[in-house]
Amino acid sequence: MMKKLLILSLMVGLMLDLKAASRPENVPSKLSELQVKSWYLEKFRIWTDYLEENPTDEKGWLQLYRAANYGGMSAEELNALSERIALNFPGSSTANYVKSRIIGWNAEGNDFLEKAIAANKNSMYFLEDQLVLSEFKMNQERKNLSTKVYESGLVSRSTLNYGYNVLMSVGEDGVLFTDATHTTIPLWILQDVMSVREDVVIVNLELSQATEYLERKLTSSGLKWTNDAKISSIPAANPDRDFYYALTLSRNNLTEIEDKLFVVGLASQYQSERLDHYKSLRENIESRFLLDYLTLDFNGEPNTSLGKALQTNYIVPFMLLKEYYDELGNGQKSEYWTEKLMNVADKSELRARVELLLSKQEQQRQSFKKVELDMKSLDKKWKKIKDNIYASEVELTNMEYEFFLDYLKDNGYDDLFERASIDLSAYEGISLVFHKKYHTSKGINRKQQGNYDDYPAMDIPFEGAKIYCEWLTAQYNVQEGRDYQKVKFRLPTQKEWTMAALGYKDFQSWNLKENSVKATLNYKDKKPLDYDLKDHTISYPWFHRSWGYRNSVLNEKKCYLANIKTPEGITCPAGIEGDGFAITSPVGTYFANGLGLYDVIGNVAEMTDIEGVAMGGSWNHPENESTITSVVNYSGPDTAVGFRLFMEVIEE
């Protein structure tokens, strides 16, 4: 009998051990490990099966909730789970915690979280939430809790290395926007425990859903608060501070400012004007980043650790560096960063995709045969706008564009020639005859055609203008005796064009209304006065000669100062009918603005970098549509649209 009882006892013990062993592994915090959604959903299924047999395992329900949340289940499904937990464990730490996460980071959600923590103060499960709560409240506990999280081992070395490089992507006293708390906690640890980049203000967007946090965070950091609580409006309200956005941010958060973001490492910098981001990118990655951990695994971390999962974000900055050195013709550096890039791609299992991108990039980077250019004339035509941005003093001429087309045709670039060719399909009859004469071609006596060489190029496809910029960039950077080591020719942004057209050398911002200018009241005055453009409108660039003429297209003699569409029957005292031209006029015919740019008003509207958008009006636009802020929309090659080259100096 005793023998049977002993056997029965052993069997019960074995069954209990088997039951305990059947408990699934915990779902790791995203702070430690990052998996794909399908992995979490499989964990949800496993924990669901387990809890059907073991419904009283309160901590098991926490694991089920974490799997559901990380797996991206709907708000309705998460709410249903929260209600079930509250029904099974009313008023418990687990029920309060799950309820707090359903509500989110706000006063109500934080009350439930504090109840959960109070009931289970020593739980490691709540440790990172305690840290986030201290940041939300901005109390003195953050440093202490950062230390506890660091000592807990939740944060891997690769995650800290990645976070270090994020902080090193930010300029001095910069403001960094981050997204999820699990990608932000490592940055707080670096600041609080290791004293790394304590000058950086970190604003977490997950917490910023509560306006009370966002307002408190901004004002305590000396930043102006905007009532609309949009991250897109904060930089404009604080023009004296630099703002950065972590590459982990979802594009949904950045749609309004996407065109103002420039990658400078593991973050993008906000700039209202175009930024020479290559300089910052090179300095950050080549001089400030810690990159050894990408190739040497000192800690034996799993590939799913957060730091390793985030390594994918190196692909974009590494690819940009490779592209930079390709354009510079530095094959050794390009090869070095290609190797780094492919190493990350391999570890992220993205080699095929990256190779495809590199292949497309190679196809887009057209290799042009060198042709000798008149560098003396070419380098003379550039006028400095601001910093490393220059603009041609005149619009691109017929002769220049025809030379380019002849080059493409003669050197066998048939596809590019087809895409860049003048399009006269919209004309017929007399109009077609004129436009054929206007556009000269190689081998034809140009004098017999009216000699339109120095008139602005028009009837050009937007793609043709971009190809011209690429071609001239490639040609310039290999010419002997050039003034600059490396440049990039391109079309301007609307803001760049407007400020160039304004013609004021000492402008302070690329946003017109954020500037003040000095100008004399009239021709006779010698002492200039200050005018704030928030309070004054400027339509034309000759304001610097006489403030009173800033909104007049006529001079004091009632003669036109630009080639625009004029009313019939208007003759100025000089005997000139209208503005003196039926359509376009030779480039440089009218006075230059204060920066030395001719014809920014009228003649041809000038393309921007946005297809279908040109600026400044034309010979076919009346004066109210031909100002420094006038937008001309076009839908293809147009007789009233041409372009002016802008030059960005990459390396002097």
- SS3 of 444, please? coil
Q: Is residue 652 part of a domain?
A: no
Same domain for 184 and 308, yes or no, is yes
Res. 491: pLDDT tops 80 = yes
Q: How far is CA 396 from the centre of its chain?
A: 29
Res. 1: pLDDT tops 60 = no
Q: What is the pLDDT of residue 7?
A: 38
CB burial readout 481-503, b (16+ within 10 A) else e: ebebebbbbbbbbbbbbbbbbbb
Res. 481: pLDDT tops 50 = yes
Greater pLDDT, 328 or 335: 335
Res. 4: pLDDT tops 70 = no
Same domain for 117 and 163, yes or no, is no
Q: What is the pLDDT of residue 273?
A: 66
The C-alpha torsion from 346 through 352 and 354 to 355, rounded to 10°, is: 110
Same domain for 351 and 385, yes or no, is no
Same domain for 172 and 230, yes or no, is yes
Same domain for 351 and 391, yes or no, is no
Same domain for 94 and 187, yes or no, is no
- Are the C-beta atoms of 61 and 51 separated by less than 8 Å? yes
CATH number of the domain encompassing residue 76: 1.25.40
Same domain for 208 and 114, yes or no, is no
- pLDDT tens by residue, 142-158: 999 999 999 999 999 99
- pLDDT tens by residue, 247-285: 999 877 787 788 789 999 999 999 876 666 788 999 999
Q: What is the pLDDT of residue 613?
A: 95
Report the phi/psi class of residue 170: left, alpha or beta, with left for phi > 0 and alpha for psi in -120 to 50: beta
Q: What is the pLDDT of residue 233?
A: 81
Same domain for 391 and 321, yes or no, is no
Q: What is the pLDDT of residue 250?
A: 85
Q: Is residue 544 part of a domain?
A: no
Please tell me the least confidently modeled range out of 176-180, 185-189, 450-454, 478-482. Answer: 450-454
**Cα separation values, 494 from 202, 275, 335, 383, Å:** 31, 14, 36, 18
- pLDDT tens by residue, 191-247: 999 999 999 999 999 999 898 999 999 999 999 887 766 777 889 889 889 999 999
Task: Find, among 616, 384, 370, the residue nearest to 471 by Cα.
Answer: 370
Read off the pLDDT band of 417 (50, 70, 90).
very high
Structure tokens at 531: 């005018």
Q: What is the DSSP letter of 538?
A: -
Please tell me the least confidently modeled range out of 114-123, 572-581, 630-639. Answer: 572-581
Q: What is the pLDDT of residue 504?
A: 94
- pLDDT tens by residue, 330-363: 889 999 999 999 999 998 889 999 988 887 766 6
Q: Is residue 623 part of a domain?
A: no
- pLDDT tens by residue, 116-132: 999 887 778 899 999 99
Q: Is residue 475 part of a domain?
A: yes
Q: Is residue 224 part of a domain?
A: yes
Q: What is the pLDDT of residue 449?
A: 47
Cα gap 43→302, rounded to integer Å: 18
Res. 643: pLDDT tops 90 = yes
- What are the beta bridge partners of residue 383? 391
Same domain for 166 and 87, yes or no, is no
- Are the C-beta atoms of 241 and 174 separated by less than 8 Å? yes
Number of domains composing the chain: 3
Q: Is residue 253 part of a domain?
A: yes
| pTM > 0.85 | no
Res. 365: pLDDT tops 70 = no
Task: Find, among 454, 433, 435, 436, the residue nearest to 444 by Cα.
Answer: 436
Residues near 394 by beta carbon (within 8 Å), at least 6 away in sequence: 381, 587, 588, 597, 598, 599, 644
Query: Rounded mean pLDDT of 288-303?
Result: 85
Of the three residues 490, 515, 531, the one that is the final residue of a domain is: 490
Q: What is the pLDDT of residue 580?
A: 76
Task: Find, among 406, 394, 392, 411, the residue nearest to 440 by Cα.
Answer: 406
Q: What is the pLDDT of residue 572?
A: 79
Res. 631: pLDDT tops 90 = yes
Res. 17: pLDDT tops 60 = no
Of the three residues 311, 335, 364, the one that is the final residue of a domain is: 364
Query: Rounded mean pLDDT of 21-32?
Result: 90
Query: Rounded mean pLDDT of 540-558?
Result: 85
Read off the pLDDT band of 627 (50, 70, 90).
very high
Same domain for 153 and 296, yes or no, is yes
Q: Is residue 77 part of a domain?
A: yes
- pLDDT tens by residue, 73-113: 999 999 999 999 999 999 999 999 999 999 999 999 999 99
Q: Which amino acid is at 171?
A: G
- Are the C-beta atoms of 416 and 406 separated by less than 8 Å? no
Q: What is the pLDDT of residue 444?
A: 39
Range of the domain at 61: 22-121
Query: Rounded mean pLDDT of 424-433?
Result: 88
Task: Find, among 608, 649, 650, 651, the residue nearest to 631 by Cα.
Answer: 608
Q: Is residue 194 part of a domain?
A: yes
Res. 20: pLDDT tops 80 = no
Structure tokens at 150: 């660091």
**Cα separation values, 286 from 111, 199, 276, 292, 377, Å:** 46, 21, 16, 12, 37
Query: Rounded mean pLDDT of 595-614?
Result: 95
Same domain for 96 and 147, yes or no, is no
Read off the pLDDT band of 51 (50, 70, 90).
very high
Query: Rounded mean pLDDT of 404-425?
Result: 92
Of the three residues 341, 364, 387, the one that is the final residue of a domain is: 364
Q: What is the pLDDT of residue 442?
A: 46
* Average pLDDT over all residues of the chain: 89
- Are the C-beta atoms of 177 and 163 separated by less than 8 Å? no
Res. 539: pLDDT tops 60 = yes
Same domain for 345 and 401, yes or no, is no
Read off the pLDDT band of 374 (50, 70, 90).
very high
Q: What is the pLDDT of residue 197?
A: 97
